[in-house]
Structures are given as structure tokens and as C-alpha cells.
Amino acid sequence: MKYLLLSFFFFTFSYLKAQPPSELDNLLPAFEMYSELPREVVFVHLNKSVYIKGEGIGFKAYVLEKGSKKRSLETKNLYCVIQDSLGRDVKKQLIRIENGVGSGLIRLDSTFTTGSYRFKAYTNWMRNFSEPNYFEQNLTIIDPDKTEEIVAEEKELQIDAQFLPESGHALVGVNAIYGVVIKDEKGFGFPFLEGKVEDTAGKVVAIFKLNSFGIGRFALIPKQGTNYFATFRINNQDFKIPVDYIEKQGVSCTVQDLRDKLGLIINARLNEERQKNQRFLLSIHNGDSIKAVDISFAEQQQVIKVFPKKDLYPGINVFTLFNQAGTPVFERLYFNHEGIVTHEITRPEHSFDNDSIQVSFSVKGIDPKYWNSLSVSVLPEKTEAYKGHHNLPSYTLLTPYLRGPVENAAYYFTDQTPRKAYELDNLLLTQGWSSYQWNTIKISLRSIFSILKRVSHIKLRLMKKGQTIILSLRLLTMNLNL
């Protein structure tokens, strides 16, 4: 086990006399301390996802710095594991990483039988953090020597239908955008489904049309004392699902895309005393950096904030509103395409040379003077053996920030169009909270100070002149996986 030595020279806190810092004042320092150590994220390009026993799983791995999305030059080893459907390790391989990339081949020997498996890849450094920065992909392996008769059973249709208001809250009398996602029992969306929203009297107040992944949205202004239901039909079966999360009091948020700007409309329905006296804080972070702005509803029920997209982070931006106690009130995820550079690959061309096939393509925007690395999987045009849901952009720009899986996430980052950007925002509407847990972030700050209290060689000096406390530390040693 190696040790990482972290040296702390001093922490400085400014505060008013007899008035300790509030929970809101501690949020940004807590996040900055939480994100101080760099993170890595890994993506593995597998040659396919359905295999015959005896074949090999060929793959190439990319290890990136999570914040900058540049190659991780520190990591030298990547742990690759294949697990069965019960989560038991079946095969392991350690591959060498150089310049942030590495490749490997795992033979599917007699250890494997017909069934579902999962390929996982991670670095030792990732084990220090709870965030989902590792790679995983489902695999199917078929043993042709052992065939089983599959008897088709007629099953009752099972669905997972969710109608989620933007930011998690819908207020009475305030326009709300609801994200819609309707999936089957395996997590796949019902494509191009149409439905409507009715009130208690049966009046249609909204309609929705879902995309190819069963995701969409609709607008609704909830009325006091009125219940709402979403109705739709699948395979000649009618469904009626309550539309919930309607509140008389609370805070909600709506995002509006204004071309080169992003607008946040924050509505509050609070009692008069709370509304006048309570302070709120709106933070924006990307997992690596954070910024914040104070929000007050003292004289109004609505606050509008407009942010130039060039001032937002490229990629995912997590907007979180905190109340005065430092408790998250809502989160809204937004993907900022400005500053994201992708390279278009031309359609491959091929020619025959005796018993060989020559394939050629080009990548626009790649400078051959600099180091580049590509991976290519060559399969028949109509193959059913490749069913991966991700590419490198989707797994590094999107997945680490979400709590749930995404069907065909690569779609949103391939041949990008305004329509796909809109569909990506609909996806984020249905994701709810991000993968970052603020309880963990705030606890990390408290844990550091708990450690500091127990370290004997800390000098504490109170500066009477001014209003500053200085903690003077010689050295704090922490044990981390490297």
C-alpha cells in the first residue's frame, strides 16, 4: 500500500464576531475540498457485445481526467473483470495503460457457459471515491454445444411509467414542465408512444409524444384541488397513471434555452415570514469546479437568472438550490454543448485486394502532427452482435453525472442536431438528482476537521487583530489507494 502525503499549511475563515459561518457559507469550501483530489473516468471500446464461447473479447481502454477530459498520464494499470449474472468474478485481467490508453484480449474458455455477463474496468485510484466513474457493459455469451429449448411464455405486460416535474416540484398555479419516461420491465422505452393528461373531470389538459426511447415532455399549470392522470395505450391495454408532485408551497425551477444564453425561472410559494427572511443559494458545478449566486424572494415570488453559455461549464452543469439550512431544495441538470469539441468521421470506403479488404476513412479536425489514438470494430453490416449503448463522449460527458442507466446514450452524441440536443434535455428532465450526494460532500469537510482535532502536532492560533482564525498545520498524512 502506498501513501499519499497531503500537506495543509493553513485554512483561513472570515466571519462576523459572535456569528459563526452558516451552512450556506460552508457549501462551497466543502465542495472544493471534496473535489480537490483529481478524478479519473474510463471508457472501454469492446469489439462487440454478443459472443460465442471460444471467441475473444478484444477491447481498447481510454482513461481520462474527469475534469479536463484529457488523457490521464498518471495511471499505469487498469483492472478488467468479467462477472456472471450473480456478480461473481469469472475472469480478471490487468492491462498496461500508457498515455491514457491500453488494449487487451480475454479468451472465452471453458470457464464460461451460456448466459449474461458484465464487463467492468476501473483503476485503483477510482476506489477512493463513491462516484460511478468506472466502466461497465453487459455481455451475452452463447455456448453452441449446449442448446436449451426456450418455451415462450405469455407474460402480463409490466411497465415503468414516470411523470416527473422539472426540478422535482410542481407548484399550484405555476406553469410546470413534466418529463415523461415509459419503459418495459427490461428498462427499454416504448417508442413513439402517444398519450394525454386529463383532470378529474376527464378534460384533456395536455398531450405528449415520446421519442424512440420512450422519453418526452408536456406542460401543465396545476389547479388547486384538482387531480391529474396520464392515460395511454400499449398493446391494446389501457393505462391510467396519476401525475403527482403537485405542491401548494415550495420552490420550483424551469430552464429555458435562449440560444447563446440559458435562463432559469425560479418560482417560490412560501409563507410571508419565510419568504422575507430566508436566504437561498444557487450553485452550479460540473463535478470539478463550482460557482454560486445568492437568491432572495424577499419582494417577489419569481426570480429569473440568465447565464451566458460561455460562462457555464462545457458539458453537464448541475444547478442546485439550497435553503438557509444548507439542504438541497432541487437540482436541475443541463448539458451545455458550447465548448464541446467532437470530430466527425467520414463514411468508410472499401476496396478489394485479392483476399483482403482495404477500408479507409478520415477524421475531420484531427491534426496528424500530434499524438492520436483510435479504435475500430469491424463487423458485418447487419450484425446483431453489437448492442453497446455508449461511445466515448456519452460515457465520459454524461454517464458519470447520472444515477440511472441510459438507453442508447451514444445516440445523443452521434451526428448531433438541435433535435438531439432537445431530446437530451428531455432525458435529463427524467433523471432527477445527479450522482453527486451533497450529504457526502458536506460530510467530507466535517471529516477533515474531525481528523484535524485528533492530530497532536497542530498549532491553533487566534488572531485578535481582525476577525480571522488561522489553523497552522505542519503535516497531515492520509492513506489513499494509488
Task: State the cell numbers at 188.
Answer: 427499454
pLDDT in tens, 59-92: 999 999 999 999 999 999 999 999 999 999 999 9
pLDDT in tens, 158-205: 999 999 999 999 999 999 999 999 999 999 999 999 999 999 999 999
Distance CA 194, CA 211 (A): 9
For β-strands 4-6 and 458-463, DSSP reports them as unpaired
Shared domain for 45 and 135, answered yes or no, is yes
SS3 assignment, position 17 = coil
Shared domain for 163 and 243, answered yes or no, is yes
Which pLDDT value is given to residue 1?
A: 36
125 within domain boundaries: yes
Shared domain for 175 and 105, answered yes or no, is no
- Of 336, 369, 396, which marks where a domain is finished? 336
Shared domain for 97 and 83, answered yes or no, is yes
pLDDT in tens, 129-155: 888 899 999 999 999 988 666 666 677
Shared domain for 256 and 241, answered yes or no, is no
Shared domain for 135 and 90, answered yes or no, is yes
More confident position, 272 or 114:
114
Distance CA 197, CA 163 (A): 11
* Strand positions, DSSP E, 259-314: 261-269, 280-285, 290-295, 302-308
Q: How many structural domains compose the chain? A: 3
399 within domain boundaries: no
| Range(s) of the domain holding residue 100 | 40-142
- The pTM (predicted TM-score) of the whole model is 0.84
34 within domain boundaries: no
- Of 82, 109, 142, which marks where a domain is finished? 142
Percent of the chain residues topping a pLDDT of 90: 62
Shared domain for 256 and 221, answered yes or no, is no
Contact 99, 136 (CB under 8 A): no
More confident position, 28 or 9:
28
130 within domain boundaries: yes
- Of 312, 336, 360, which marks where a domain is finished? 336
Distance CA 183, CA 241 (A): 14
408 within domain boundaries: no
Distance CA 481, CA 125 (A): 6
Shared domain for 59 and 80, answered yes or no, is yes
Is the pLDDT at 4 greater than 70? The verdict is no
Shared domain for 166 and 190, answered yes or no, is yes
Is the pLDDT at 113 greater than 50? The verdict is yes
Shared domain for 316 and 264, answered yes or no, is yes
Nearest to 409 by CA among 164, 423, 132: 423
pLDDT in tens, 383-408: 888 888 999 999 999 999 999 899 99
Shared domain for 270 and 238, answered yes or no, is no
- CATH of residue 108: 2.60.40.1930
Shared domain for 103 and 90, answered yes or no, is yes
